[in-house]
Structure 1
């Protein structure tokens, strides 16, 4: 009995499988970067808000 992964590779070919993995990695990197950017923006907003209240 073959695993689903092997069957998937047989359907799309190894080049297609590598392409899909490359896209998955690229998407995860982009989402990670967007997540870090969002966290930094929230931190910056909190610092700015705190600074404005002191004045």
Structure 2
């Protein structure tokens, strides 16, 4: 089975900030951030709407 990764432009920037050991575990990316508050979920929702996904 062949796997691929689709990046939103914003998510690609988020991804580059992750340690490589974490990067290889991620497939479809909308937003990468700590879940310390609701901000990451708000950003993910915003990006999903902007990119119609």
Give the structure with the larger helix fraction. Answer: 1
TM above 0.5, one fold? Answer: no
- Report the structure number with the largest CA radius of gyration: 1
Name the TM-score, length of structure 2 as normaliser. Answer: 0.32
Name the TM-score, length of structure 1 as normaliser. Answer: 0.31
